[in-house]
Amino acid sequence: MRFSTSFMFVKMFAGVAAALMILPVAVSCAGEPVEGTDTDITSELPEGIEEETTAPDVVAEEPAELATGESIVDVASADGSFDTLVAAVQAAGLEETLSVDGPYTVFAPTDEAFASLPEGTVEKLVKPENQGALEQILAYHVVEGAVAAAEIEPGAIATVEGSELAVEIDPAGLTIDGQANVVQPDVVAENGVIHVVDTVLLPPTFDPSTLL
């Protein structure tokens, strides 16, 4: 009796299983989708999942260009605020050096900065007999290499003149030799960078009384 009951149970289970196997095929043949068997999984994804799984377009940042096609002298000449400086560079015979060689970092005094010098100083400096003194002063404003303002550290910076500039940094910006403020940093040229200062820097060894 137990055997007969078990056999009937197995037979019934096999019939149910066969029916379940035939059902999807029958529905598929009828052209109607079977509930729960939709293969378009993207329609069931939460909103926004496509954006999260798709790699975003990466836009590379353009590197800062150091070359503008214009030299330090070209940039200073075109600006209109460095007429005295450009005239001094030409009088000292340094125009070609600051146009071709480099790279250099130039702390460039404005026309107003030169005008603040004692009366008659600029006129004396551009005389041929004072060319050596003029070269010394201009060289004191020049540092080897193109150094951005953010890369300048407080302390001493060697100039091509041979002496060192004393750099101080505070929230207001850069101060050179305790007197010249950098009023406009990072004016880029092909052969270097210009930091505009509001005071003419004088080397420690310069003696104005020697000017003829």
Q: Which of 173, 142, 182, 170 lies closest to 158, judged by CA?
A: 142
pLDDT grade for 69, boundaries at 50, 70 and 90: confident
Ramachandran quadrant class, 104 (left: phi over 0; alpha: psi -120 to 50; beta: rest): beta
Q: Could you give all domains of the chain from N- to C-terminal order, each with its CATH number?
A: 2-53 (no CATH), 72-210 (2.30.180.10)
Least confident of 51-60, 103-112, 140-149: 51-60
pLDDT grade for 209, boundaries at 50, 70 and 90: confident
Q: Tens digits of per-residue pLDDT, 114-172? A: 999 999 999 999 999 999 999 999 999 999 999 999 999 999 999 999 999 999 999 99
Rg over alpha carbons for the chain, rounded to the nearest Å, is 40
- What mean pLDDT do residues 98-123 have? 96
pLDDT at residue 22 tops 50? no
Higher pLDDT, 61 or 66: 66
